[in-house]
Amino acid sequence: MSQPQLWLSALEMGCFFGLLALAYYLTLVGAGFFNFAIGPYAMMGGLCTSWLVIERDMGVWAAAGVAVLVTMALAAATELAVVRPVQKRSGKGELPALVAVAAVLFAIQQLAGYLFGYVTLPGQSLATFDPVKVGSSTLQPSSVLLFVMTAVVFTGAALGIRYTRTGRLLRAVGDSTHAASLLGLPVNRIRLIAFLVSGLLAAVTGILFAPKAGVGSLSGLSWTLSGFLAMVVGGTGSLWAPLLGGLVLGGLEVFVPYYFGGQSHVYGMLLVALVFFAFKPQGLFVRRVRA
């Protein structure tokens, strides 16, 4: 593989990790909560699309639409049927809800295996145009869509969080749910919106990335860890931080095995996780809560 192709592959992986990390970030900003089911949401989006196309002969866009709706329903159920009741019973404690969402992660994986089987399915590309030449390298349509989506989503999210009423409400609730409640803000509705948007983003991300290496019912756990680590590296001080964290991990994912071979990228990611958790747990960009 040529050096330009390596850089494009690293950029593609970085965009994928960054979008997953952004889904984490939006839930954190809008609900003050780490949603560890982001990976299974993405897996469900990609796997459901592939299964409907392959097994039910559905058009790829219709299948993707169904998959997105199913994933958003799962995201809403996570908030309404798991996180909210658990936090209410535990006095708004975070740990019981985190444990419950970890259980949701594995429950979604088991559900996907039961519904769609445990075999990795090929991803379905939403575009059919010819591959794009970039110098001596080639970009597949799914990669082009992933790059375009990354630019559009991060730009749109940055503008939406800053300039729209819903974006301001998301930040207010994420900064302090208790203070937002005292001010009479619609906390429950905003939290649900945060989960729905993160589910939508994760589903579309999984659909766009699936053509690169396929998708199976066990993909959710590794995607959860990758997205979370990307957010840890980038931090929560800026909406663009998840993308930076994703690009760092994307470089590790591609270049470390290229130079050191085997599964060395796993050890590289583990080393990065240890360094950031030990010495810079707040990430590269620190979130500042407004007083």
Q: Each residue of 278-287: pLDDT tens digit?
A: 666 666 666 5
C-alpha 221/C-alpha 219 separation (Å) is 6
Map residue 185 onto helix, strand or coil: coil
Task: Write the burial class of residue 162 (CB in 10 Å: 0-12 exposed, 13-18 middle, 19+ buried).
Answer: exposed
14-59 pLDDT, tens digit each: 999 999 999 999 988 887 788 889 999 999 999 999 999 999 999 9
pTM of the model: 0.90
Q: Please, which residues have CB within 8 angstroms of residue 106's CB and are 6 or more apart in sequence?
A: 221
Helix or strand or coil: residue 182? helix
* Domain boundaries defined on the chain: 3-118+139-279
| Architecture of domain 3-118+139-279 in this structure | Orthogonal Bundle (1.10)
Contact 67, 49 (CB under 8 A): yes
262: number of Cβ within 10 Å: 9
Q: Tell me the three state secondary structure of residue 285.
A: strand
pLDDT in tens, the chain (291 residues): 567 788 888 899 999 999 999 999 998 888 778 888 999 999 999 999 999 999 999 999 999 999 999 999 999 999 999 988 888 887 766 778 888 888 899 999 999 999 999 999 999 999 888 888 877 777 888 889 999 999 999 999 999 988 888 888 888 777 777 777 777 788 888 889 999 999 999 999 999 999 988 999 989 988 998 999 998 888 877 889 899 989 999 988 888 887 777 666 666 777 777 777 666 666 666 655 444
User: φ and ψ at 173, to 5 degrees?
Assistant: -70, -40
Residues 42/21, Cβ–Cβ less than 8 Å: no
| DSSP-derived 3-state class of residue 272 | helix
3-state secondary structure of 264: helix
